[in-house]
Amino acid sequence: MRENDDKVNGEFLCLSPSIVFWNKITSVNIPLPLNSTYLHFLFSQTTNLRTLELHYKSYGPANFLFEDETLIDFLTDVCLCNMLVSHGLRQLNIFTAWKQPNLINIAYLIVERLPYLQVIELRGIDDELIEMSHILINGLKKLNYFTFRGLLGHGKRHEKEFRNLENSNTRYFRTEVPNTIDADIFIVWL
């Protein structure tokens, strides 16, 4: 983590209570790294948090030779996850890094630590995202809406890959590939 990010995050969290009441916050987007201390503070204050958006990013040169680094790894912290569950988190949006190395582990941790999720949006271009989708759909009994965004123009292909694993599903579902400009999305209703 870069030192400058840590300093900016600390200053923001110190000033935030005077800008907005913590209990009024229902959605948080975390695109930058936050250390565990700041996450504990943030999640303990946002008692009505319903939607959390996480970004797993890779930094590197423009030629896509990234050194993968998971910047937000709160799922390994049981206390943070318990806080989110007790505050009523219902939606999780995940933006994965290119060639994210630990997607299957992330899926199992989500199922184990955030069992009451009802809505998930998953974005990325990794081959393991389809398998991750099945783990989430089979493991989260309250899940009723799942959105998958992948490569541009590959919505139907992703849906077909998803349906190829249909025998491993324990829940009934319906899928749709909306007619969008990018054609990169498919939706699952459970």
For 15-63, give the DSSP string: HHHHHS-GGG--EEEE-S---HHHHHHHHHH-TT--EEEEE--EE--TT
Q: What is the pTM of this model?
A: 0.78
CATH (domain of 40): 3.80.10
Distance CA 12, CA 19 (A): 10
Highest-confidence range of 47-56, 151-160, 175-184, by mean pLDDT? 47-56
- The pLDDT of 42-65, averaged and rounded, is 71
Structural domain including 120 reads 3-189
Nearest Cα to Cα of residue 132 among 106, 154, 168: 106
The answer to whether the CB of 27 falls within 8 A of the CB of 49 is: yes
Mean pLDDT of 156-182: 71
Domain count, the chain: 1
Q: Is the pLDDT of residue 50 over 80?
A: yes
Q: What per-residue confidence (pLDDT) applies to 4?
A: 57
More reliable by pLDDT, 27 or 74: 27
Report the sign of the C-alpha dihedral through residues 171, 151, 127, 132, in that order.
Answer: negative
Task: Write out the two tokens for 73.
Answer: 């790894």
Q: Which amino acid type is present at position 69?
A: E
Assign 87 a pLDDT band (cuts: 50, 70, 90): very high
pLDDT at 172: 77
Question: Residue 6 — pLDDT band, cuts 50, 70, 90?
Answer: low
